[in-house]
Amino acid sequence: MKLVILGGPGSGKGTQAALLCRRLDILLVSTGEIFRRAIAAQTELGKKAQPYVEKGELVPDPIAIELIRDRLGQADTSRGWLLDGYPRTAFQAEELDFFLERTGERRPWAIYLETPEDVLLERCLNRRDKRLDDSPEFVRRRIQLFNERTIPILDYYDYCHQLVTVNGNQSSDMVLQEILAGIMVNK
């Protein structure tokens, strides 16, 4: 099974991604975590991504696409995966589909955690595991970018009949149950 999880910052993507990967026995591929590690290690990719991450901006498509192609080409992805933090733009979604088509694989299911903006802001500002980009200014900018660049992906996956939308403003157990029901019904 191949999945993409979408939602604004603080929507619970990370929580649901971990729960789904354990439940479905698939690999979690978190671009945010990969970028944070690359920045900390000052790798070439980390150096390219750092200015964007520090400003709360999206990492440019060419850098993100290269990262994902490299990661999905590794052997441990063969049993299935869930992408957390990618795609972030419609172009990235299309490039992911082209990549999978070239490798003979199916388009992933997209899971959208629909969550009100005020809840997103509150969750990010009250996280126990604070990140560098969890200041009010950065969170508002990330929500704005999500609305501008990522929301159009929903139309793409909906058009492809590969979208499952769930209410992200409920307990994590309820969200998980809605996701599982949606992807199993549409399997």
Could you say which DSSP state residue 59 is in?
A: P
Assess contact for 166 and 114: CB atoms under 8 A: yes
Q: Find the CATH number of the domain harbouring 62.
A: 3.40.50.300
Beta bridge partners of 84: 5, 30
Q: Which pLDDT value is given to residue 137? A: 87
Tokens of 167: 């209410």
Strands 81-84 and 163-167: unpaired
Number of domains in the chain: 1
Q: Of all residues in the chain, what percent carry a pLDDT higher than 90?
A: 64
Assess contact for 10 and 131: CB atoms under 8 A: no
Single pTM value for the model: 0.87
More confident residue, 125 or 130: 125
Model confidence over 93-119: pLDDT tens digits?
999 999 999 999 999 999 999 999 999
User: Residue 169 belongs to what domain range?
Assistant: 2-185
